[in-house]
Amino acid sequence: MLILVRNKLQIMHLHRNTIAIGLAGLLFALYSCSSASITSPDRKAPSWIKERPVSDEYYIGIGVASMNQDNYMKIAKSNALTDLISEISVTVSGNSVLHQIENEAGFKEEFESYTRTSIKDHLEGYELVDSYTGKGNHWVYYRLSIDKYQRLKREKLEQAKSLAKDFYEKAAEAEQSYNIHNAINYYVKAFEAVKPHLDEDLSIFVLNRGRINLGNVLYQNIQEIFSAIRVEPHQELFRIKALSSGNTAVKATVYYTKEEARHRVSGLPFVFSFPDLDINETEQVESNNSGVINCSIATTAPKGKRQRIKAALNTEVYFGKHTEDNLLYKLFSIQGSRPYGYLTVEVADLLAYFEAEEKMFGQPAAGKPVSNIFRKELTQHFFSLVQERSKADVVVKIASSTTKGKKMDQYDLFTAWLDCNIRVIHSNTGAEVYSTGLQNIKGMKTGSYEMAAQNAREKAQQKIQQKIIPELRNIKF
């Protein structure tokens, strides 16, 4: 009897649960239908579309996107958040580093634009209030509690200041030991940490210094390090010879000057370039343990004239690429500039005697056009020609042959094939220091075999520029 009663009670309990679940499902279905009516085509446009809400407790953002666009819901949300952020004012604190430079080069406006982008990328705590779809558009209404935003902002500021303080102390320690590379690196990391908060008061307490403003101190310390770095060439004028192994090394020493004491600085990245010439070639180097930087691109300067080579601190290592939206690069370009120095070089040509053997379609080539291409390219970059072999530093031997290929009568199209070789021989020793060839260069033109041969020579000139000139540049005679 007891077992029967227990089973009956269990059945009654199960029945009640089934009823409860059914009621819950019904309520959920009704709620879903109600929610669906938000975006129902039959729903009238809500008042917040026609008249923007005003609130003292919330930032409000309303966005719209055409439903003809892909991802229109995401676009509408993005527009709404942009609208919301426009209500958040960016006020530059009187104690901020931006207060010192806000009138310089329009940087304040750039920072405000950067700040709004940064706020949008890291925005938290906002909520969707409503959405509406009608007449081919999708609307969304978001809001963000002003109190919550300010609280999160304060928390992020304190976290940023704590991280920046740690980097600042490491930077100061590195600077004390004249490890300037690490000092700059840590100062920049500290600055990166507080970069989203440069408009705010970044005051902190530091042992032995008391209360400081991190933004101001970091900015000033980096500028002071830049001002203390000197690049001094080892010679007032470097006289060198193109491709010569006997050249004096073109070099400079990097110094860091503080309190009238000079210290050689190792591990600093520099870039050599030609500031006065239309030459894109640069060289990245690092100061060695003696603070010395060596320049190997000096011999690429035009021959016969004095040229300046600029050695500038490679700030891309610390700030990143020098792009239009690089805030740190622009900030540190407003006042002062990256450390640099100049090395003056005078490059003399190697004297070259040319010998050429050239055939065109089995006959000696009139005017030797292939050899003339080699002469033009080599004299432009390295050599001066002499008429007497005894006066030459090197002998350059050119051999080339152009042969006829097929003719396509249907298209009046002619082909020609070009083979050429170059050998460079040291005059004093007779040693061959360079040798290479360009084989099976195909020329194709309508009209004649001569036109096809000219097309092959044009292709050969490109290969000389792309292959032979760079290879010769690495050879020292």
Q: What is the CATH number of the domain that holds 125?
A: 3.30.1660
The model's confidence at residue 306, banded by pLDDT at 50, 70 and 90, is: confident
Average pLDDT over residues 447-460: 96
pLDDT score of 210? 83
- Looking at residue 384, which CATH number applies to its domain? 3.30.160.180
Average pLDDT of span 416-437: 93
Q: Per residue in 111-153, pLDDT tens?
A: 667 677 777 777 888 999 999 999 899 999 999 999 999 999 8
448 and 411 part of one domain: yes
Q: Which residue has the higher pLDDT, 224 or 12?
A: 224
**Is 31 inside a domain boundary?**
no
Same domain? 81 vs 100: yes
CATH of the domain at 204: 1.20.58
432 with 468, same domain: the answer is yes
Q: Is the pLDDT of residue 420 over 60?
A: yes
Co-location of 372 and 463 in the same domain: yes
Tell me whether residue 252 is in a domain: yes
Given a cut of 90, whether residue 24 has pLDDT beyond it is no
Do 114 and 74 share a structural domain?
yes
Among 214, 248, 216, 213, residue whose Cα is nearest residue 234: 248
The pLDDT tens digits for 353-395 are 999 999 999 999 999 999 999 999 998 888 889 999 999 989 9
Q: Is residue 43 part of a domain?
A: no
Question: Which of 341-345, 355-359, 472-476 bottoms out in mean pLDDT, i.e. has the lowest?
Answer: 472-476
| Confidence at 473, pLDDT banded by 50, 70, 90 | confident
pTM of the prediction?
0.69
**Average model confidence (pLDDT) across the chain:** 84
- Both 55 and 140 in a single domain? yes
Last residue of a domain, one of 227, 262, 277: 227
Six-digit token pair at 220?
A: 């000033």
- Structural domain includes residue 4: no
Q: Is residue 407 located within the same domain as residue 456?
A: yes
User: Is residue 204 located within the same domain as residue 238?
Assistant: no
Q: Is residue 17 part of a domain?
A: no
Q: Is residue 354 part of a domain?
A: yes
pLDDT for res 315: 92
Residue at 79 is within a domain:
yes
Please tell me the least confidently modeled range out of 95-104, 178-187, 325-334. 95-104
Same domain, 158 and 241: no
- Within this chain, do residues 295 and 310 fall inside the same structural domain, yes or no? yes
pLDDT at 31: 36
CATH number of the domain that residue 280 is part of: 2.60.40
| Same domain as 257, residue 216 | no
pLDDT of 309:
95
Does residue 102 form part of some domain? yes
- Average pLDDT for 405-419: 92
pLDDT of residue 160: 94
Which of 348, 370, 403 represents a domain boundary (last residue)? 348
Q: What total of structural domains would you count in the chain?
A: 4
What is the domain extent for residue 246?
Answer: 234-317+340-348
Q: Three-class SS string for the chain?
A: CHHHHHHHHHHHHHHHHHHHHHHHHHHHHHHHHHHHHHHCCCCCCCHHHHCCCCCCCEEEEEEEEECCCCCHHHHHHHHHHHHHHCCCCCCCCCCCHHHHHCCCCCHHHHHHHHHHHHHHHCCCCCEEEEEEEECCEEEEEEEEEHHHHHHHHHHHHHHHHHHHHHHHHHHHHHHHCCCHHHHHHHHHHHHHHHHHHCCCCCEEEECCCEEEEHHHHHHHHHHHHHHHEEEEECCCCEEEECCCCCCCCEEEEEEEEECCEEEECCCCEEEEECCCCCCCCCEEEECCCCCEEEECCHHHCCCCCEEEEEEEECCHHHHCCCCCCCHHHHHHHHCCCCCEEEEEEEEECEEEEEEEEEEECCEECCCCHHHHHHHHHHHHHCEEECCCHHHCCEEEEEEEEEEEEEEEHHHCEEEEEEEEEEEEEECCCCCEEEEEEEEEEEEEEECCHHHHHHHHHHHHHHHHHHHHHHHHHCCCC
Domain boundary among 201, 227, 253: 227
What pLDDT does residue 262 have?
92
> Looking at the structure, do residues 76 and 171 belong to the same domain, yes or no?
no
